Amino acid sequence: MQRYSDEIIDEVRQTNDIVDIISQYVHLKRSGRNYFGLCPFHNEKSPSFSVSPDKQIFHCFGCGVGGNVFTFLTKIEGINFIEAVQTLAQRSNIQLPTLDGGGDTGKEKLKAKVYQVNEFTAKYYHENLYKPSSKIAQEYIKKRKLTNETLQSFQIGFSGKFDELYQELKKQGFEEAEILESGLVNRNDKGQYIDRYRNRLMFPICDARGKVIAFGGRVLDDSKPKYINSPENVVYSKGRNLFGLNVAKKGDIKQILIVEGYMDVISLHQRGITNVVAPLGTALTQQQGWLLRKNSEKIILSFDSDEAGLNAKTRALDILQEMGCDIRILQMEGAKDPDEYIIKYGNARFNNLVEKALSVIEFKVKLLKQNLKLEVANDKIKFLNEIAKLIAKIDNTMEREVYLEKIAKEYDISKEAIYAEVNKLIYKEAKGERILEKAKPVIKHKKAEESQISKTLKKRENTILSILLTGDINIFKIIEQNIKIEDFKDTINKQIAKKLYEEFEKGNSNINGIIDMLRRRRAKSYYRNYGR
């Protein structure tokens, strides 16, 4: 089995700080000596994912996953250990020795061959685009006003007839197994090899590194389906890649615009808007979300304005919000997609749309208003209740205050009324967990007492503590009226609650020290063993 030496692996690990790597995927906040965030490997509302810069390890107290920087990369990217070492070595400019066959299994050798098949095919299709026999494709390109620079940047090409690609691949020495695995050729019941793509405009799909991993083909007549894409194989997983990211990365991508299709990306790119990508299908996946989180600070969604586009937008919002992304939603009227809009109205108006893109709250409020008549009392009450639900989910107190002010002014609703509903919901969510349970008989032995405390009760108490840890004095006043320190049954939770109550009563909402205490107590037993 081929592998890198321990010395090489240690060098790669030591030159890649685990906090830097994980921060590309997870929004981390420092608390004491460690960092915490929402776990990327299971759904959670309160951060239980811990990263230790001292020990260079991570651990989730919710689902139990943990390890070092290689472990994290293999899990989050869906790659193997060798690929993780290679990715991190490239990041650190470390020259790795060559491994025979590029890996340690037959699968790795097949992957290397499929990459070669794809690379050759992209060049073959691109060259074919300029031949006299490709007139239908040339007419389409002329109609769409695509420049030669754009054609080259995206390696746009044109596929031939029946088995032309297959015959060419055979001439290059590729074997049937490699060709079939690429998905570029099918074998029919008669044993004939037929090209998957025939007489179609071809869009090579590349990974973030620029390697060709798949293809999309667009028909140029009335044939169906309009688009066909490569099947998943050893090098291609559509849910883990984004079309155009390899090209976008050549410029500034602190802000990324997500559109729906190949031509949206290409059309915008040609007009100077290069920070644009598209999911390979309308539904954004969690893996694509991590890819965006890794590469950009702000994400703007611009899916089509039809029902399918709205559904895709809603799903993408849910995924990206869970990851702590800064999200905006582009609102577009007068065109069905960004490609049509920018051709029709030009760059200046499109850039103005981007600048005025809505926040998640503004977008959801606007959607809500579309289905209600605010001049009708019942509808206005429903509107108020739904707005309160949205604002109650905002963790940041200052952000919550800004939206309260803005929405109250814009929709002529009493700010105090919204605020009262929001506080009611926050308290209701906490009390709905049924933290208060009737006291059980006192048990003399501490261990026996704690054994009577259920996991459910601890979870409920943790929910209240998490709400208090936001530092909101108004929420504290509501909770204090209903929950006393002695109502907490878990010993550690009671100590933390006591400290919180004391600090709030002093008027001190700077509770970082209390957060540190909470994290240290929960992490102590793990790091004693795992960090060795």
Q: Which residue range forms the structural domain that includes residue 218?
A: 106-234
Q: What is the structure's pLDDT at 454?
A: 67
Does residue 193 lie within any of the structural domains? yes
The pLDDT value recorded for residue 430 is: 52
Mean pLDDT value across the chain: 82
Token digits of residue 240: 């883990």
Residue 343 is predicted with a pLDDT of 87
d(CA 462, CA 465): 5
Query: Which pLDDT belongs to residue 385?
Result: 84
Mean pLDDT of 355-374: 84
Q: What is the pLDDT of residue 219?
A: 94
Last residue of a domain, one of 102, 133, 151: 102
pTM: 0.68
d(C-alpha 387, C-alpha 366), whole Å: 10
pLDDT range class, residue 323, cuts 50, 70, 90: confident
For 131, which DSSP code?
S
**Judgement on whether residues 98 and 110 belong to the same structural domain of the protein:** no
**How much of the chain exceeds pLDDT 70, in percent?**
85
On whether both 113 and 227 belong to a single domain, the answer is yes
366-373: Cβ within 8 A, 24+ apart: 366/331, 369/411
- pLDDT at residue number 441: 42
pLDDT for 2 equals: 61
Residues 258 and 308 in one domain: yes
Q: Check residue 332 and give its pLDDT.
A: 85
Which candidate, 349, 335, 426, 419, places its Cα nearest to that of 384?
A: 419
* DSSP string over 95-121: PPPPPGGGSSSHHHHHHHHHHHHHHHH
197 with 281, same domain: the answer is no
- Domain presence at residue 330: yes
* Residue 482 pLDDT > 60: yes
pLDDT digits (tens, 9 = 90+) for 163-186: 999 999 999 999 999 999 999 999
Return the ∠ at Cα 530 (arms to 524 and 531), rounded to 5°: 85
What does the pLDDT look like over 107-161, one tens digit per residue?
778 988 999 999 999 999 999 999 999 999 999 999 989 999 999 999 999 998 8
Q: How far apart are CA 127 and CA 468, in angstroms?
A: 64
> Pairing state of beta strands 29-31 and 34-37?
antiparallel
Which residues 6+ apart lie within 8 Å of 359 measured at CB?
327, 328, 329
pLDDT greater than 60 at residue 189: yes
Q: pLDDT band at residue 529, thresholds of 50, 70 and 90?
A: very low
* Range in 141-145, 286-290, 464-468, 481-485 with the lowest mean pLDDT: 464-468
Asked if 465 and 485 count as a contact pair (C-beta separation under 8 A), the reply is no
Distances (CA, A) of 406 to 334, 365, 386: 27, 11, 16
Last residue in a domain, options 234, 256, 271:
234
Q: Is the pLDDT of residue 437 over 80?
A: no
Tens digit of each residue's pLDDT (9 = 90 or more) over 327-361: 999 988 888 888 888 888 998 999 999 998 988 88
Give the closest residue to 25 by CA, choosing from 55, 54, 49, 45: 49
Domains in the chain, number: 5
Residue 440: inside a domain, yes or no? no
Tell whether 441 is covered by a domain: no
Confidence label for 440 from pLDDT (cuts 50, 70 and 90): very low
Cα–Cα dist 488/124, whole Å: 70
Residues 139, 46, single domain; the answer is no
Q: Residue 448's pLDDT is what?
A: 40
